[in-house]
Amino acid sequence: MRISLNRFAPVISSDEAADNIFQLISGSLSKDEEIVLDFSEIRIISTKCAKRIFGQLYGILGAEAFFSRIIFENASENIRPSLNDGIESFLSDNNE
């Protein structure tokens, strides 16, 4: 399953956008397959949104499935630090 995030471009920073993205992804979780998230037109994502989206997702999937099934495609060098820190912050808050 491939999900384009282009409709949220260029910046993902609001709770509403984060919740819409989470809904999009979580709607595809029932099939036991990879979920490829295409960030090609996203220029900025806030750490808060990264935490909100992917923290919830991690909570549902668990570590193994999250890291193996969720693929981040075309995430620029500007996006990756926010994704890393957002997810790490969630793990740290939850003692993972």
Partner 1 sequence: MSRDIAICLPDKVDVNFIMTFIRKMNAFYQYDNAQLPGFFLRFTNVKRIDILGVLLLYKFLEYSIIRNCFINPTTIDIKVINPQIKEFGFESLIASCYTDSKKMEEEYGKLQSRVTNKFLVSPISIFKGLVDRDAIERKCFNSISMFYGTGNVSDMILMVISELIGNFYSHSEDDSRSIIVAYGTNDYVEIACADSGKGIIESLKPYVDSRDNLMIMKKAFQKGVSSKPGTDHMGYGLWMLDEAVKRNGGRMIAYSQDVYYERLGTKVCVIPTPFWRGTVVYLKLFTRMPVAVKDIIPVTSFSKIHYR
Task: Kindly state the smallest distance separating residue 84's Cβ from partner 1, in Å.
Answer: 5
Count CB-CB contacts under 10 A for residue 7. Answer: 10
Between 23 and 67, CB nearer to partner 1: 67
Least CB distance from residue 26 to partner 1, whole Å? 16
Binding site for partner 1 (CB under 8 A): 10-11, 13-17, 36, 43-44, 46-49, 51-52, 55, 67-68, 70-75, 77-89
